[in-house]
Amino acid sequence: MTIEVYNYPLSPCGEKVRFALAEKELAFVDHHVDLGSKDNLKPGFLRLNPKGLVPVLLDDGVAVADSTVILEYIEDRWPDRPLRPADPLGRARMRRWTKHVDEVLHPAWPGIAWPILVRPKWLAKPATEVEAMLAALLDPRRRERQKRMFDQGLAAQDARESIAVFIATCEEMEIQLAGTPWLAGEDFSLADVALLPYLVAVEIFDLARLYQRFTNVARWYAAACARSCFKGHPRTMLPAKRLQEIEASLVRSARQGSVNLAPNT
């Protein structure tokens, strides 16, 4: 059995797949797809996923795309160390959270991540190359959004709206976690796996105060990060080189005059 994951380190969709595999103690081969260089739009990757989106999981050469579908596939394919609640209510809660990630949180996420991780690299490229990369985007809405964020950075309205969505998500989590230790109930599940990568990224972006004011969320995050599969913290699963790149991007973003998009309270 060979499991492979095509992923961009710190992409929440890819990270949740890697986190699920780690939680189940399944070894896998990790392939780095550089979204900043549009490797996801090259023919080799498009053969795996014609939509050009990471992640893609290969199970003995058979491709499965769409991160939430992949999570369910992992649970069905390798049911040991279950990540789906046994009871119907727990499963309903779990799917409510994975649906929220797919329909609300993740669509807003580029407004936070793109200006920090991608824009600094693009600003160093010739204008003709930037125009070509924008033109290569298959989705016109993504194309226009990336153009706005390239032009305006964290000052773009997209960033403000993304922060508002993240905070609203934390507010909902806070309510659920007032009554249960994990998002779907008494046990760690795919709901927690789906949300965790976003908080990991926010912490790495030095924006942890966005969730730290929510007592139950902060407690949940600490407990999730302490799970043995992460060997101290989920960031240990990120390549050291990738963390260095992110640090450099944060420095460049500050030098380029990006606004501080995180409220102080």
pLDDT digits (tens, 9 = 90+) for 166-193: 999 999 999 999 999 999 999 999 999 9
Q: How far apart (Å, rounded) are the C-alpha atoms in residues 14 and 231? A: 19
Residue with tokens 């992923």: 7
pTM for the full model? 0.87
> Which phi and psi (to 5°) does residue 176 adopt?
-60, -45
b/e burial code for range 101-124 (CB count within 10 A of at least 16 → b): bbeebbebbbbbbbbbbbbbbbee
Please give the residue that has the higher pLDDT: either 26 or 246: 26
Domains of the chain: 3-77 (3.40.30.10), 88-255 (1.20.1050.10)
The per-residue pLDDT for range 207-248, each reduced to its tens digit, is 899 999 999 999 999 999 999 888 777 887 777 877 887 777
How far CA 156 is from CA of 136, 137, 153, 160, in Å, comes to: 22, 20, 6, 7
DSSP conformation class of 110: H
> Which phi and psi (to 5°) does residue 50 adopt?
-60, -20
